[in-house]
Structure 1
Amino acid sequence: MRTVYLNGAYVAEGDATVSIFDRGLLFADAVYEVFSVLDGRIIDHAAHMARLERSLAEMKIAHEVAGAGWDDVLATLIARNALVEGTVYLQVSRGAADRDFLFPAPGTPPTVFAFTQARKLADNPMAERGMRIITRPDRRWGRRDIKTVQLLYASMMKMEAKAAGVDDVWLAEGDVITEGTSQNACIITREGHLVTRDNGQALLPGVTRLSVLDIARESGMTVEERSFTIVEAQGAAEAFVTSASLFVMPVVEIDGLAVGDGLPGVETMALRKAYIERARGAH
């Protein structure tokens, strides 16, 4: 049985309980972060921490665990669960108070918990075949740049993808792609340029995306941070997504149309390889 972290204590997962009045449960009033672990160590640690702190600040959620405290929680969970490869999920809610749309009184302690999930990241078999995706309207709230637990629409879209026999969904406003259900969307044009949506409130600033863009620029690839349409993506030479759990994952089909030759792209797979090598080298 896993050991999890809850409000300052490490307990067996079956013994961890949260109040029914927790605002994360009642209002999705919580933020979270997912940290990837390779060879027992966290990837892109500093950038994930910075995004977590930003999400907390944007939501005005006060918290006592900070700085080295977060590091201690993550390291202890990895050690106690003997996690070699997988993820650590960390969530902070505004805490528990009687149900009211107004925020609880200052001083209400936040609810903080974290747990590990063992899973294959580097040798994910999907990388060999590529993802098949469909596009759907983006009907989420407007502050997608904050990593909140408001994930119902994303979950519904993942279920729609499953029902359609494909791997996932790219969300779009009109004909312009915002991002995937839980990933950033990228294409490589026929000219060899890497294109990904520019950051803003429309999408989450991806940590893996940031590292991959650095790798692309260092390799001499032209990077364009701008909007692109569904049609442009379908006509691209290659397409892929980035996320903490998928790293760089090729996309080979969009709405039934093959991207490029319908196989994982050479440039995409080179970026995936370079990202994994950098992640392991940073250890």
Structure 2
Amino acid sequence: MRTVYVNGDYLSEDEAKVSIFDRGFLMADGVYEVTSVLDGKLIDFDGHAVRLQRSLDELDMKNPISKEDLLEVHRELVRVNEINEGMIYLQITRGAPSDRDFAFPDPETVPCTVVLFTQNKPGLAANPVAQKGIKVISIEDIRWGRRDIKTVQLLYPSMGKMMAKAAGVDDAWMVKEGYVTEGTSNNAYIVKGGKIITRPKTNDILHGITRAAVLRFAEEAQMTVEERNFTIEEAQDADEAFITSASAFVMPVVEIDGAQIGDGKPGSVAPRLREIYLEESRKVAI
């Protein structure tokens, strides 16, 4: 039975409750972050805290918890739940007014709801899937236009995951106006002629924290990075493809819409980036 955090209290998960009038429940009016834990320490915490603040600002929400207090909550949950490898989920919603209403409640009278919980994932770093890679399909990207805000509006990405499952593959890459935006819960990349290609940061994609770290490490390793749009056809003709996320780190993609990428096995770039990311992130974990 996990210990979770709800609005200042540490509770057993079976005791944790949120109002039925909470706007996160009624209107998906909230944001979230997921921070990985390796060796009992937090990976990229500062980046997640900065993106959390940005998401809140974009939605005109007041941040109810300081960065210092948030760090303490993360560390306490890691400690009491004995998490060595896993994740911490954080969600902040606009709170629970007295009744359902489209208009935002007064933040001075209706405090935000803050929830955190852990997920224990032994073997997260040594995931055997990374040795063989994943397969994806392409689907139309019909999400709202502010994908850069990490909101809890995840119904279509969830549907995309189920479309992939029904097709017998691992995930789906979303396509807008002919170009790949991102995966259902990750950023997407291809490698061609030694060049790493990924969509630039705009409102069309989530500004991934792992993405930022991986691209920085790639450039430090003298790899060439090009931020531009690419098509599914380009991806199928690439030498390699991969995804990044806080939970998958760097994961090779070996098939897209039934077409084998390269020789159908992880190439040299993605595994090397995964190795560098894990090594460097562990050095600065807190």
Q: Shorter-chain TM-score category?
A: over 0.9
CA deviation after TM superposition for structure 1 residue 62, in Å: 1.3
Q: Please list every run of 5 or more consecutive structure 1 residues that lacks an aligned counterpart in the other structure.
A: none
Instruction: Work out which of the residue numbers 200, 210, 213 in structure 2 matches 1:198.
Output: 200
1:242 alignment partner, SS class: strand
Other structure's SS at 1:37 match: strand
C-alpha distance in structure 1 between counterparts of 2:251 and 2:284, whole Å: 21
Aligned pair count?
282
In 2, the alpha carbon distance for the partners of 1:178 and 1:144 equals: 10
Q: How far does residue 134 in structure 1 lie from its aligned partner after superposition?
A: 0.2
**2:185 paired residue number:** 182
Cα deviation for residue 106 of structure 1 reads 3.0
- Partner of 1:31, secondary structure, is strand
Displacement of 1:161: 0.6
What letter corresponds to residue 96 of structure 1 in structure 2? A
Distance 1:10 1:106 in 2: 23
Tell whether the 8 Å contact from 1:63 to 1:109 is kept in structure 2 after alignment: no
One-letter amino acid of the counterpart of residue 227, structure 2: E
Counterparts of 1:185 and 1:15, CA distance in 2:
39
TM-score by length of 1: 0.98
What TM-score, normalized by structure 2, do the two folds share?
0.97
Greater mean deviation of Cα atoms: 17-26 or 104-113? 104-113
Find the counterpart in structure 2 of residue 67 from structure 1: 67
Q: Distance in 2 between matches of 1:46 and 1:60?
A: 21
Distance of 1:239 and 1:162 partners within structure 2: 20
Specify the code of the residue in structure 2 equivalent to 1:103.
F
CA contact (8 A) 1:161 1:169 kept: yes
Structure 1 residue 67, shift from structure 2 partner:
1.8
- Residue 125 of structure 1: how far off its partner (Å): 1.4
The answer as to 2:133 corresponding to 1:141 is no
Equivalent residues of 1:121, 1:247 under 8 A apart: no
Q: 1:245-269: per-residue Cα shift (whole Å, max 9, x none)?
A: 0000000000000011100111110
- Helix, strand or coil: the match of 1:15? coil
Q: Which residue of 2 aligns with 1:103?
A: 104
- Alignment correspondent of 2:11: 11
Aligned twin of 1:282:
284
User: Which of 114, 117, 122 is the equivalent residue of 1:115?
Assistant: 117
Paired position in structure 1 for 2:84: 84
**Per the alignment, in what secondary structure is the counterpart of residue 205 of structure 2?**
coil
Offset at 1:63? Answer: 2.8
The reply on whether 1:128 has 2:131 as its aligned counterpart is yes
Contact 1:21 1:99 in 2 (8 A): yes
Q: CA deviation at 1:55?
A: 0.5
Q: Percent identity?
A: 55
Give, as a single letter, the amino acid of the residue that structure 2 aligns with 1:244. A
Structure 1 residue 205: deviation in Å? 0.2
The answer to whether the 8 Å contact 2:53/2:63 transfers is no
Coordinate RMSD, CA, aligned: 0.8
Gapped runs of 5+ residues in structure 2? none
